[in-house]
Amino acid sequence: MSDKDGFKVTPWAVEGEIDYDKLVQEFGTQLINDELLARIKRHTGDLHSMLKLKYFFSHRDFDWILDKYEKGEEFYLYTGRGPSGSIHLGHLMPWIFTKYLQDKFDAKLLFQITDDEKFLYHDSMSMDEISQHAYENILDIIAVGFDPEKTKILIDTKHIKHLYPIAIEIAKRITFSTVKAVFGFQNSTNIGMISFPAIQAAPCFLPSKIEGRQTPCLIPAAIDQDPYWRVTRDIAEKMGYYKPAQIHSKFLPGLGTRGKMSSSQPETAIFTTDDPELVEQKISNSFTGGQPTEELQRKLGANADICPVFWYLRYMFEEEKSSNERYVKCKSGGLLCHECKHDLIGPAKSYMIEFKRKREQAKNLVDKFIFED
Amino acid sequence: MSDKDGFKVTPWAVEGEIDYDKLVQEFGTQLINDELLARIKRHTGDLHSMLKLKYFFSHRDFDWILDKYEKGEEFYLYTGRGPSGSIHLGHLMPWIFTKYLQDKFDAKLLFQITDDEKFLYHDSMSMDEISQHAYENILDIIAVGFDPEKTKILIDTKHIKHLYPIAIEIAKRITFSTVKAVFGFQNSTNIGMISFPAIQAAPCFLPSKIEGRQTPCLIPAAIDQDPYWRVTRDIAEKMGYYKPAQIHSKFLPGLGTRGKMSSSQPETAIFTTDDPELVEQKISNSFTGGQPTEELQRKLGANADICPVFWYLRYMFEEEKSSNERYVKCKSGGLLCHECKHDLIGPAKSYMIEFKRKREQAKNLVDKFIFED
């Protein structure tokens, strides 16, 4: 969306300090409220910390998905990955949450690899390079632990024959004016990028084709992808499909300056391929919400709200209660940054070592996860 | 192209009385001259009447194709069909000529069925309807007599996986500004139509992918398709491919008012599915270049230049010499229109009866002609 509020969120750039409440207003989505959380909990038994802590904070029609689920209608999950680089924790978090939804609702999942879009978007990236990223990223996806019986990975250029007939139905209903307004495309935009929204929208309706009946679809993804679903929702019913529902996450803060964890600034992100020593080093060098000196910190307290170390611990490795205590202690000057970093380094290293092990195992599972042609 | 000269030629509309010399200037193509005809004849032994009579009248780089051929490099033919209705004589003529080129140059042929474009273009046509047309049109293509060992038919929605990787390479290099200028697309054009030129361009480079080396490609088609190739030629070399060459036909005049034979005015066209009685009836009712009364015609002569009956005979069923004699006789008032109609009805009926027979046989050959997946 526009950067008139000092931040910018589009599928291709997330910049500035994001006011998520404003974003929800601008995008026209709904905040996840306590009533919805309580309703989710009735089905899941427990609430994932990413829900409790409002990392997943916004939605469109999640309540409708529950209506359908409560009537015994199965829904599909659909999410995706643009394979332009390595996977870092910021990418993993929505996938970990997606696995939670799959487990709790016994839902099938379509995972789209948008290699075509990355090729169309990046001037200098070759298709070979992107295919290599796609393979590596698929290992990460599998390592998250999705159910191989219920999860199918679609690679756009490989599985285009399943997407294209739906994509042209979609494309027929979207004009240049619309994608210009929604995605900011211009006359100088290439025609591949211009029509790509139809390819990203197609998996929303693939479940209905697979199942042979209208099938609800829920998309867990970071909120920067929302423009795609807005356009898709506008045309879904005209095409005889349900509107796809969404549940939106925030962005994981980077270890460097403010903004989302980003592959283009490798020192600010913890990658699944980083050695444990590098994970330790990156956390040790991380930006925090601390004061310039220990004396000042003891006196004024630090700012946990802007501190990536605090948020990593909270979202990934700490119970809500301990995290709340850490927050109070930090604010009041009772904690120094190196202590929090130390608390994060241990579990982060363990997590990444275990993840790398699963990632190795994933090499034998790729065929099982790939959508049947 | 624009209608500032009182005619209009685009891939979607051909209107008015076309000045082909002006069109060649506007499109920037080359007229086929006697030198080129002589060079072609050295390889083919005889010149097809469509060349001698300048039905195929314009080209881009046909001479370069001959350079390559003379050096022993094989070239591919590529042409196509948008399956939005039945096939009439106007469609068959470039295909008959394409078969002549295949036979004489022992060339492989890719035949693209652009079902996607027809779906994207026609507001109210369903994909099922288009698929039915595609099947019927493929019977006509096969009935023309192409070599099944050297001819492969690609249906866009079925074979998209072979086209899409090439199409995104192409699409990446074409902006909205370009397709706006070349095809007249507007902000209200749907995004499928906007990116379709990349799908129609893809088969130009498929021979190079199939053969594993740069392979020349020659496109025989009516000149209304030229805008596609102009765009494709601009980017071919940047992509590491040869520019596709073209040989352009005029349009077969309709039996009704002036303009090309058109499926949207069925009374003006002879369809391959018409019964012989209907062929006779359509020719009997045809517009001609004749005078209102026999007396006037004997006195003033008739206008063969604008007479579809004359041109059908000339292009399809008469030797050059007899046709020249007919022309002189008509101009001088020595022929009445019903005589020419009679001369046309016989061979046209025979041709269509024989074509229908081959079309029936084609039903058993479809699998042999379809591109291997």
Query: Is A186 within 8 Å of B176 when comparing Cβ atoms?
Result: yes
Smallest Cβ distance to B194: which of A127, A159, A195? A195
Q: What is the pLDDT of residues A119-143, one digit of tens each?
A: 999 988 999 999 999 999 999 999 9
How many whole angstroms separate alpha carbon A162 and alpha carbon B308?
45
Cα distance from B371 to chain A (closest Cα, Å)?
14
In this structure, of A3-7, A225-229, B187-191, B368-372, the range with the lowest mean pLDDT score is A3-7
Residues 6 or more apart whose CB falls under 8 angstroms from that of B220 comprise B56, B77, B79, B94, B97, B98, B101, B246, B247, B249
Query: Is B180 within 8 Å of A187 when comparing Cβ atoms?
Result: yes
Q: How confident is the model at residue A282 (pLDDT cuts 50, 70, 90)?
A: very high
How many whole angstroms separate alpha carbon B311 and alpha carbon B306?
8
Question: CB atoms < 10 A from the CB of A293, how many?
Answer: 9
Cα distance from B171 to chain A (closest Cα, Å)?
5
Interface test with B, best of A113, A130, A168, A199 (most B CBs within 10 A): A168
Smallest Cβ distance to A192: which of B120, B190, B195? B195
Query: Is A127 within 8 Å of B165 when comparing Cβ atoms?
Result: yes
Q: Report which of residues B315 and A117 the model is more confident about.
A: A117
| Residue B233, beta-bridge partner list | none
Report how far apart, in Å, the C-alpha atoms of A131 and of each of A83, A127, A263, A366 are: 8, 6, 17, 14
Residue A75, token pair as written in the block: 């829904």
- pLDDT of A270 > 50? The answer is yes
Q: How many helices and strands in chain A, by DSSP H and E?
A: 18, 9
- pLDDT of A13 > 90? The answer is no
Q: Tokens 């680089």: give the residue.
A: A85
pLDDT of residue B1: 47
DSSP B15-65: EE---HHHHHHHHT-EE--HHHHHHHHHHHSS--HHHHTTSEEEEESHHHH
pLDDT of residue B8: 84
Query: Is A176 within 8 Å of B197 when comparing Cβ atoms?
Result: no
- pLDDT of B3 > 70? The answer is no
Question: Is the pTM higher than 0.90?
Answer: yes
Interface test with A, best of B113, B155, B161, B168 (most A CBs within 10 A): B168
In this structure, of A145-149, B252-256, B260-264, B363-367, the range with the lowest mean pLDDT score is B260-264
Supply the DSSP symbol for A371.
Answer: P
- Confirm or reject contact between A44 and chain B (CB < 8 A): no
Query: Is B172 within 8 Å of A187 when comparing Cβ atoms?
Result: no
DSSP B102-152: HHHHT-EEEEEE-HHHHHHH-TT--HHHHHHHHHHHHHHHHHTT--TTTEE
Q: How confident is the model at residue A3 (pLDDT cuts 50, 70, 90)?
A: low
Mean pLDDT of the A330-356 span: 96
How does the average pLDDT of chain B come out, rounded?
93
B201's enclosing H/E stretch is helix B191-201
Residue B256, token pair as written in the block: 């009704």
pLDDT exceeding 90 applies to what percent of chain A?
83
Cα distance from B18 to chain A (closest Cα, Å)?
31
How many whole angstroms separate alpha carbon A94 and alpha carbon A315?
11
How many whole angstroms separate alpha carbon A173 and alpha carbon A171?
5
CA angle B124, B128, B129 (to 5 degrees): 55
SS3 A299: helix
Distance, C-alpha A23 to centroid of its chain: 16
- The residue of chain A with its CA nearest to that of B168 is A192
Report how far apart, in Å, the C-alpha atoms of A71 and of each of A59, A67, A74, A236, A312 are: 20, 6, 9, 22, 37
Smallest Cβ distance to A191: which of B159, B169, B175? B175
Cα distance from B242 to chain A (closest Cα, Å)?
20
Query: Is B157 within 8 Å of A177 when comparing Cβ atoms?
Result: no
Report how far apart, in Å, the C-alpha atoms of B352 and of each of A366, B260, B282, B357 are: 55, 20, 13, 9
- Confirm or reject contact between A36 and chain B (CB < 8 A): no
Q: What is the pLDDT of residues B122-156, one digit of tens each?
A: 988 999 999 999 999 999 999 999 999 999 999 99
Distance, C-alpha A240 to centroid of its chain: 28
pLDDT of residue A260: 61
Amino acid identity for residue A183 in this structure: F
Residue B216, token pair as written in the block: 């020349």
Smallest Cβ distance to B116: which of A168, A180, A190? A168
Q: How confident is the model at residue B331 (pLDDT cuts 50, 70, 90)?
A: very high
How many whole angstroms separate alpha carbon A309 and alpha carbon A288?
6
Is the ipTM here above 0.85? Answer: yes
Smallest Cβ distance to A190: which of B116, B171, B188? B171
Cα distance from A168 to chain B (closest Cα, Å)?
6
Q: How many Cα atoms sit within 13 Å of A109 on the Cβ side? A: 31
Please report how the helices A176-183 and A226-236 are oriented relative to each other, as an axis angle in degrees rounded to 10: 150
* Residues from chain A contacting residue B174 (CB–CB below 8 Å): 190-191
How many whole angstroms separate alpha carbon A156 and alpha carbon A153?
10
Query: Is B175 within 8 Å of A190 when comparing Cβ atoms?
Result: yes
- Confirm or reject contact between A189 and chain B (CB < 8 A): yes
* Residues from chain B contacting residue A189 (CB–CB below 8 Å): 175-176
